[in-house]
Structure 1
Amino acid sequence: MNKPIRTISMFCLLLFVALMLNATYLQFWRADSLDNDPRNRRVIEAAYSRERGAILVGREPIAESVPSDDRYEFQRTYPIPFKYAPVTGYFSFFSQTAIEQTQNEVLSGEDPRLFVTKLVDLLSNDPNKGGSVQLTLDPEAQDAAYEGLDALPGDVEGSVVALDPATGKILAMVSLPTFDPNKLASHDLDEVTSAYERLDADESEPLVNRAIAKTLPPGSTFKIVTAAAAIESGNYTASSEVPGGATYRLPQTSGESGVIDNEGRDCGTDRIPFVQAMENSCNTTFAALANELGAEAMLKQAEAFGFNATYLEDLRPQAESVFPEDMNPPETGQSGIGQFEVRSTPLQMAMVVAAVANNGIVKRPYIVDEVQSAEYDVLEKTEDSDFSQAISSSTAADLTQLLVSTVDNGTASPAAIPGISVAGKTGTAQSGIDDVPPYAWFVSFAPADDPQVAVAVMIESADIPRGEIAGGQLGGPIAKAVMEAIIND
């Protein structure tokens, strides 16, 4: 073989080897990263055309894929859009959110637990179908929460969360304002872009699930945490006397800004029964208790309930509820009544009251009950787990006694259910922003002697005069309706 032919042959061989190496590298080493690359339109279009699994509440699909007569073959639809949108999120050509995102591998059929289903589909030459996801939500509780919040006047901004205290199952989760995910799942991509831009620019934040992703001062509902810390210290029980008085001056302060009052409620003059302080939500009592306990004890108790932590694994994004560190005495006093820089999600306050209902144990909340095949065979069922033992069972019993009396004789009376013992606490938290009215909160559980449901209601904004904003009057009836839906189910 002459030299030019030999040179050309060697060059062709090198090209062939390089081609094989590149093909091997792309198909084996880079395959996963290329599949997951958001710029890979082939993968995106294939996923968008696939028959995605259903998201179920009870036996009802709240998200499903139906045949489509266009290029994408299947259209993602949401039959009950507004009520469930904060939970389902949306599946669009550009992105996914909420359950559509966290359970994407199951719904798309890519989850390893669906291997047998994928194998059968491959052998029968059928398109790959996604698995289904069964949620823990109770449809009657969800209806009660949504209708109660939506019935408030004006453009409502708020949230309701209900938990099973014994397991951590999320029984209801509502956030207003909400949105129509069908518009974001449309096959008209220009329409999707326009709809998203409108929603994203909306100052009322309809795309934010307020139940888990927005924190606000919890106000007097946080007094449950302060009371828990006081009883856990060993210095108090439900029958003890606690600091009272019409006003309380925060340590190291002067002038009116350092004085906390009770807004006219009956809080005695010196020492008063603990039950009176809770029934009347005495600011002076709980500010004084917080300072008596100290910043470290308050921080420890708040974190035992879940503050400064993430714990929701199957729904995102979850904002951490905040209890500040390294507070000085004036800040510690304000924290005892849920002010200063204390901030909570509705889910967090539902966990606090659920822990009281569950002998002091905080259960890790979850919303995915089962993962199922396309034929609805159960592949995996979520098992409940403990997050912490926040308080002792005796402390929980004392707090229950105080909170039942608050419903029977105090500010939480709007949540009373005839013939059933209910525990509850109101909250009205100052926003700390000029011209922004206070936030109304309410937390409760029932039946107090055999708890089945714990509820947190947060009303951020509604068309209600500032002087009429009160957690009991606004949130109490909503919590009552949700509790009745579970108890009567």
Structure 2
Amino acid sequence: MNTPIRRLAVVIFAMFTALLMASTWIQFVQADDLRERADNRRTLMDTYSRDRGAILVNGTAVARSEPTNDELRWLRVYDTPSRYAHITGYYSFIYGAGAGLERTTNSLLAGTDDSLFYQRLADVITGRPATGTNLELTIDPAVQQAAVDALGDRRGAAVALDPSTGAILAMVSRPAYDPNALSSHNLAAVEQAYAELADDPERPLINRAIGGDLYPPGSVFKLVTAAAALESEDYEPDTELVGPLTYTLPGTSTELPNFQGAACDPEGRPTLAVSIQVSCNTSFAWLAGELGADALREQAEDFGFGQTLETPLPVTPSSYPAELDEPQLALTGIGQHDVRVTPLQVAMMAAGIANDGVVMTPYLIETLRGADLEVVDQTSPRTLSRAVSQSTAQELTEMMTMVVQRGSGQLAQVPGVEVAGKTGTAEFGSQGGAHAWFTGFAPADDPQIAVAVIVESASDNWVGETGGVVAAPVARAMLQAGVDR
């Protein structure tokens, strides 16, 4: 064999080897990933041949499949779509399982999950049509509706938790969208609807409750600062702090004022309890410097900061900045600088205090049910962390009740129910904008529900949307619905 032929044979052999390796890699190594891709049309056609599982709230389907006479056979339908859009997500022939539970639990809803092997085997043996698994959610429809109604058309988010279990009782993000527009079998209309949603500057597809651009927490973070102080055992609720009319940030000439320039205490020595009640900026900025960044960071992490959570919806981790100089440290004490949170994280802070200092892992699915609604699996509550001691939790609760009774959170009062809470007004950007926060729980002596509410600033220029004025009434509606359930 002459040299050119031998070289050609080597090239051909190498090409066949590469082809064999590529096909083996695709068929065996990448097979599962390719099959589970949301935009895999062959998989989508297969899943459209069976009844996709329903998503249930209190036994009522908020996402279900209806039979059709067209090629796709099943149409995904969302009842009360604006109420549950960010929880359910959407299921589209063009865009696949997009967002929400439709995406994160796609294999369960489609009936293809490995955990359903024996159910699929039984379907084959009995000849029963293959169906997906139904998801029974933890959502309380009354609390969810209260949040939707109270938020109205304002941008923001609201979350409610059962403090003792971590069950998510409500999860609302505004603005919302209609998943039905994306699940339609009119594919041209679907493409147009998606393009409009994707281009909308209000970003309705983002679930603000658990992700997107995280928020500065503002004064609700003072609960973390106060917790770190109490846990250090160097401070008690009646310990006097340094809280002047203005506080000069260390190493600078920048003066940090209190809200509306008010004094926290006539002598400039408010106690820790009073500092929480009146939401004193100057005393908490000073306190942050005394505690140090490590103590604040560790306390934040004990409440869940930095944790990668799946409810099973993926939650963007909240964060406390890694590197700080002294003035930046002071600002983190009041939830400013680069502290960033999700509303779910803020609800976890309140829930941890309500649950004697123990933070439970948040979850959204109560039960998996088969085609005949028989129980396939049930979620068991799990402890995430101990954030503070029981005594610290009790002291924080007492201080938070004073916020609602006499302080900045009085619009969160529920008749006949003692409410514990904390307001926040979080500055952002460079134009003076501020978001409104409220977090809390009720009843204070026997907590059944913990909430967090953020109402985004209507513009980059703040026009008075404080947490006590704007967010507290939303929380009140949710708390009222929660204690009545």
CA distance 1:31–1:264, change in 2 (3 Å): closer
**Alignment match, 1:10:** none
What do residues 122-177 of structure 1 show as CA deviations (whole Å, max 9, x unaligned)? 23434311110011000000000000001xxxx52100000011111000000000
CA distance 1:38–1:217, change in 2 (3 Å): closer
Q: Secondary structure at the match of 1:180?
A: coil
Cα offset, 1:191, TM superposition: 1.5
1:160 aligns with 2:158: yes
RMSD of Structure 2 on Structure 1 (CA): 2.3
Q: Distance in 2 between matches of 1:33 and 1:474?
A: 45
**Alignment match, 1:176:** 174
Task: Give the TM-score of the pair, scaled to structure 2.
Answer: 0.91
CA distance 1:312–1:38, change in 2 (3 Å): closer
What do residues 19-46 of structure 1 show as CA deviations (whole Å, max 9, x unaligned)? xx99999987776466346675332211
Match of 1:250, as an amino acid?
A: L
**Alignment match, 2:96:** 95
Q: Distance in 2 between matches of 1:394 and 1:437?
A: 37
**Alignment match, 2:17:** none
CA distance 1:428–1:121, change in 2 (3 Å): same
CA distance 1:22–1:312, change in 2 (3 Å): closer
**Alignment match, 1:344:** 341
Match of 1:84, as an amino acid?
A: Y
Cα offset, 1:371, TM superposition: 1.0
Q: Distance in 1 between matches of 2:22 and 2:193?
A: 42
**Alignment match, 2:140:** 138
**Alignment match, 1:74:** 74
CA distance 1:332–1:37, change in 2 (3 Å): closer
Trace 1:412-451 onto structure 2 (pairs within 5 A). Answer: 412-434=409-431, 437-451=433-447
Mark the runs of 5 or more structure 1 residues left unpaired by the alignment: 1-20
Match of 2:226, as an amino acid?
A: A
Task: Give the TM-score of the pair, scaled to structure 1.
Answer: 0.90
**Alignment match, 1:459:** 455
Q: Distance in 2 between matches of 1:431 and 1:26?
A: 47
With 479-488 and 37-46 compared, the bigger mean Cα shift is at 37-46
With 182-191 and 163-172 compared, the bigger mean Cα shift is at 182-191
Q: Distance in 1 between matches of 2:346 and 2:138?
A: 19
Equivalent pairs, count: 462
Trace 1:318-467 onto structure 2 (pairs within 5 A). Answer: 318-434=315-431, 437-462=433-458, 466-467=462-463
Q: Distance in 1 between matches of 2:25 and 2:333?
A: 60
Cα offset, 1:242, TM superposition: 2.0
Q: Distance in 1 between matches of 2:225 and 2:318?
A: 16
Cα offset, 1:438, TM superposition: 0.8
1:52 aligns with 2:48: no
Q: Distance in 2 between matches of 1:211 and 1:22?
A: 42
CA distance 1:390–1:439, change in 2 (3 Å): same
Cα offset, 1:187, TM superposition: 1.1
Q: Distance in 2 between matches of 1:330 and 1:307?
A: 22
CA distance 1:283–1:72, change in 2 (3 Å): same
Trace 1:303-322 onto structure 2 (pairs within 5 A). Answer: 303-316=301-314, 318-322=315-319
Match of 2:66, as an amino acid?
A: V
With 274-283 and 398-407 compared, the bigger mean Cα shift is at 274-283
**Alignment match, 1:226:** 225
User: Aligned match of 1:470 in 438, 461, 466?
Assistant: 466
CA distance 1:413–1:22, change in 2 (3 Å): closer
Q: Distance in 2 between matches of 1:149 and 1:465?
A: 20
**Alignment match, 1:5:** none
Trace 1:178-257 onto structure 2 (pairs within 5 A). Answer: 178-214=176-212, 215-254=214-253, 257=254
Match of 1:130, as an amino acid?
A: G
